[in-house]
Amino acid sequence: ALSAMGTRFELVVGDELAAGGGAARDADRLALAEAALETVARLDARLSRFRRDGVPAALARAGVAGVRVTRDEIVLFELCRRAHARSGGAFDPAITSALARLGLRDEPAGADATFASIAIERRARRVTAPAGLAPLAFGAVAKGYALDLAAREFVRGGVRVALLHGGTSSVVALGAPPGRTAWCVALRDPAETPTEAGADPVRPLARVALKDAALSVSAPHGRTRVITGRRVGHVVDPRDGTPVERVRLVAVVARHAATA
């Protein structure tokens, strides 16, 4: 396990590898798990908007001068650009300004711009932003991408069975546990409070079977604040800055966690 991106990442690794065995297999699994966690820690340091040496803060300072990023980071920027375009702007890591204006961010709002204003040069691995843009908030997509890259470490090392999650809201499943056809993940009802140890478990809203797939879950109740007498959640439509209401929970299954 590892604390990163404001939450806790946990990895469960099966004992089946494509090759090797015995004591060496245990050592291999441990080394792969450590490499996977190092990948998560590296992305946390690079993508956090709270770190002055991270990409979001550096991009906000550099503006049109731009910053150079790694291959993995340019892939994430391009994924975000496609998601922003295909969703008609409903997905937008440049949402910091809208959240600040709502009082959901304790920082200046910055320039009013969308992710479409971010210029991405794939060959040069350089990204540029409008002057005055607040640091990008990659949020859950960074969590999912970190899990995808961690899972890649396992696959390259021959791991067939593993479950990886970040904060229980982003999950990647490789293979299936022994005697099962898939990993079974329960979705907790946000309206229910967790039970005490030993008490009857809360009945989940649903159970999702995952095999070589990813799950992402979000609910407005996660972070709330009272604004002008009304309690609003942290899930906001970046197109008009309106907090999402009358939504209990959203869960998405996809091939990759960043996409979900």
User: pLDDT (tens digit, 9 = 90+) per residue, 69-88?
Assistant: 999 999 999 999 999 999 99
The predicted model gives 220-231 an average pLDDT of: 64
Q: Which helix (H) or strand (E) holds 9?
A: strand 7-13
Per-residue pLDDT band for 128 (boundaries 50, 70, 90) equals very high
Q: What is the mean pLDDT of residues 191-195?
A: 69
CA distance 221 to 226: 12
Beta strands 206-210 and 213-218, pairing class: unpaired
- Give CA–CA dist 260/68, Å, rounded: 26
Token pair belonging to 22: 């015995």
Mean of pLDDT values over 79-98? 91
